[in-house]
Homo-oligomer: A and B are copies of this chain.
Amino acid sequence: MTAKRSTSFDVAELAGVSRTTVSFVLNNVPGMSISEATRKKVLEAARQLNYHPNESGRRLSSGKSKMIGLVLLQSAEQVFNDAFLLQVLMGVETIASQYGFHVLLRHIKNTDHDEYSQLINENHVDGLIFSGPLQEDPNLLNLHQRGFPILLMGQMPDTGIPFVDADVERGAETAVAHLIEQGHTDIGLITNAQFRYSTAQQRKNGYCRALGKANIPVYEPFIQEGDYTPGSGYQAMNVLLDSPARPSAVFVASDVVAIGAIQAIKQRGLRIPQDIAIIGFDDIPMAAYLDPPLSTVRLPAYGIGWAAGEHSIRQIRGEEFKSQGVLLDTELIVRQSTRNGLKTQSQS
């Protein structure tokens, strides 16, 4: 790129001071009282030379990379269907850049290979944030135990690894409580994912808790498994519709899965919410435009990213945490798919 870029040496020379002073001035090193005159000279020289400290040099001498690695563990397919991930990313990026950190994005297809340790060992990043389905992963645990700053979006119970998550269980409880308020007692559940994922388990817990508080017994046949896809919602809903005791309302723990469920209901000529009320989970951007507009529970995606970024940086700085994890609140969004008595949109 054209002329050689200027270094702190050039600045020092032009300003007639030492590189030490240049560094002190430009980094605003506290405690170093530099005379106003010198400071001015340095600043002016830097401006004049269009000086930008070379980050590589800085990194090498400081030992810090000022870089957070954001590792996506979900499959390509999951990523593509994850409307929130982008918001999460933006949340992380925004807070990181405020703290002068950069975000390194990494999608990992194959957990075996332990690619994240690489990022650390090579001093690429100062800390790591993980997003995705968190299974038993010895590498992760190992990193944590070696004292490396890692943070989960989501949770790995009993590992002690710090996390940031939405309070999904409470969100699910709120959703089901809303159905109960509307007068429903026969309430089905279609999960967002297989039960081996804690994220599905949490939603079920919330479902059960809401029923419990209302003294409604849990009826196992009303509980069906989804797997992130509309197709799975379609199937699961058909099972519920075919069962002898049909629920009058269903909590589908993922809006995307709910889309399939809605299709199944419509195909039978049933009306939502009159015949079956549906509440989803996530509040994907499209939820408001489904037919009928879908009641759901909004996840604070951006907030999760933000909080994750902030906590990761705190970890990196060695700050102590009072608690192991952070749970962010969800928000109940009531639309036409559960609001009995309200007119749904006119149909063609």
Contacts and interface: CB of A to CB of B under 8 A. Distances in A.
Interface string A99-130: 00011111100000000001001111000000
Contacts of A270: 348
A201 interface: no
A271 interface: yes
A167 interface: no
Nearest to A258: B289
A242 interface: no
B345 A52 contact: no
B55 A57 contact: no
Nearest to A108: B97
Contact of A56 (B59, B82, B146, B147): B59
B105 A285 contact: no
A115 to B, nearest CB: 9
A54 B122 contact: yes
A104 B104 contact: yes
A325 interface: no
Interface string A70-92: 10000010011111011101100
A93 B80 contact: no
A104 B125 CA distance: 11
Contact of A103 (B60, B105, B122): B105
Contacts of A107: 90, 93-94, 97
A267 B346 CA distance: 6
A311 B348 CA distance: 48
A122 B54 CA distance: 5
A348 B266 contact: yes
Contact of A1 (B55, B104, B148, B285): B148
A267 B52 contact: no
Interface string A251-285: 00000100110010111011110000000000011
A285 B80 contact: yes
A347 interface: yes
Nearest to A66: B124
Contact of A55 (B97, B123, B284, B288): B123
A106 B93 contact: yes
Contact of A230 (B54, B147, B269, B289): B289
Given A86-B89, A102-B106, A344-B348, 20 more contacts: A1-B147, A56-B59, A56-B123, A59-B59, A70-B105, A79-B87, A79-B90, A86-B86, A104-B104, A256-B285, A259-B286, A265-B348, A266-B291, A266-B347, A267-B345, A269-B346, A269-B348, A272-B348, A284-B286, A291-B291
18 contacts: A1-B146, A1-B147, A55-B123, A56-B56, A56-B60, A57-B60, A59-B59, A79-B86, A81-B285, A82-B86, A94-B107, A103-B104, A105-B105, A230-B289, A267-B346, A270-B348, A272-B348, A286-B286
